[in-house]
Amino acid sequence: MNLFLADEAATIEFARCVLRELPQDLAGWTLLLEGELGAGKSTFARALINAAGHEGPVPSPTYTLVEPYLLPRSTIYHIDLYRVSDEEELRYLGWDELDDGLRLVEWPDRAPGLTAQADLALTLAYAGTGRQAGLRGLSERGGALVKGIELP
Ligand SMILES: Nc1ncnc2c1ncn2[C@@H]1O[C@H](COP(=O)(O)OP(=O)(O)OP(=O)(O)O)[C@@H](O)[C@H]1O
Ligand SMILES: [Mg+2]
């Protein structure tokens, strides 16, 4: 699905719509966030984490690589691979152990192999003063989720 997000508020609202379609238990789900610098990846991640019940700041995981949020609904891992240069480093950050929650991944192109094990990919691109968003399913359940999304 493709849609135009006119401003930051639209990105936040879209994140809420996506979360609504995800199951209560987010274990094992992976959502890739693609797009160039400043495209709105962190805005989307922050909105989704807040909508899932986290109150307070959502710092960038650029240096920590992973920021975990242990929420009543389910754990969410906010992951930023910007500084990762090869797939081996995924093991270093403990990727395989992060399967008890939702993995939200910024800069997934740093580890191209992730596409094969992810459920969803959101691509954000500059479009005038807003952003063009494309959400696609990478797994069967991801594809089903995209079909079920209801926009406000
Ligand atoms: N739909 C939108 N239209 C216009 N501006 C937006 C939209 N969504 C987010 N923004 C703005 O884009 C800016 C950059 O957002 P953000 O930090 O989320 O980008 P990013 O993709 O995570 O960047 P980086 O690659 O540096 O991590 C913010 O100022 C945010 O308010
Ligand atoms: Mg970011």
* Secondary structure class of 45 (helix, strand, coil): helix
Mean pLDDT (the chain) is 95
**Contact present, 102 and 118 (Cβ < 8 Å):** no
Query: For the domain bounded by 2-148, which CATH number is listed?
Result: 3.40.50.300
As a whole number of angstroms, the distance between CA 66 and CA 12 comes to: 21
**Contact present, 127 and 141 (Cβ < 8 Å):** no
Q: How far is the CA of 59 from the centre of ligand 2 (A)?
A: 9
Question: Residues lining ligand 1, CB < 6 A?
Answer: 5, 7-8, 10-11, 35, 37-43, 106, 130-131
pLDDT in tens, 5-20: 999 999 999 999 999 9
As a whole number of angstroms, the distance between CA 12 and CA 18 comes to: 10
Q: Which of 2, 11, 78, 129 to mutate to test the pocket of ligand 1 (most atoms within 8 A of CB)?
A: 11
As a whole number of angstroms, the distance between CA 144 and CA 137 comes to: 7
Q: Which of 3, 37, 42, 46 to mutate to test the pocket of ligand 1 (most atoms within 8 A of CB)?
A: 42
Indicate the pTM of the whole model.
0.97
Strands (E), 29-119: 30-34, 66-70, 75-80, 101-106
Q: In what order do the strands lie in the sheet with 75-80?
A: 2-5, 130-137, 120-127, 30-34, 101-106, 75-80, 66-70
pLDDT in tens, 87-105: 888 888 899 999 999 999 9
Between 53 and 64, name the one with better pLDDT. 53
**Contact present, 106 and 79 (Cβ < 8 Å):** yes
Cα 97 from chain centroid (whole Å)? 18
Q: How far is the CA of 60 from the centre of ligand 2 (A)?
A: 6
Domain range list for the chain: 2-148
